[in-house]
Each structure stands twice: as C-alpha cells, then as structure tokens.
Amino acid sequence: MKAPAGLTKVKKEQAALYPNPAEDKLFIKGASSMTYQVDIYNLNGSKMLSASVKGNDPINSVSPPVNLYMVK
C-alpha cells in the first residue's frame, strides 16, 4: 500500500525549551535559521505569553507566578 500523497516528504523539526524552571528568560534550543512560535498557557488554559523567536534567541518573559505551565 502506498503512503498518502505528500506524507513521505514531511519533516519534523525538534526544539527544546530551557531552562526549567525559568525565571525571566526562556530559550529555544533549535536551528538558528528557524523561527519558532511559542505560546505559554496556565493550567486554566489562559494564554500567558506568545512569542515568535529564532532558535537560540531568548524569550523575555515577565516572571509569571510560580506554577505549572503548558508550552505549545
């Protein structure tokens, strides 16, 4: 059986967000030529931060309260 058209050419870029825990800056460890869209949500699903950054550039945040957050 053949793969559906186009699916054999899909590439997945990997990136890592660090440090964890973070205080005032986050970084994306990834390709410096790539632009990453980062959205950070609290546990209630409210968006706390949205940023578009190149790999290895800092994401300046406003020191949110200590809590768990989801990153998309």
Cα→Cα distances 61→4, 8, 40, 54, 72, Å = 41, 38, 10, 16, 15
Please say if the pLDDT value at position 46 is more than 80: yes
CA-based nearest residue to 61, from 21, 15, 14: 21
pTM above 0.85, yes or no: no
Q: Is residue 2 part of a domain?
A: no
Secondary structure class of 37 (helix, strand, coil): strand
Range of the domain at 36: 15-71
pLDDT band for position 26 (50/70/90)? confident
Q: Is residue 64 part of a domain?
A: yes
pLDDT at 1: 53
Q: How many domains does the chain have?
A: 1
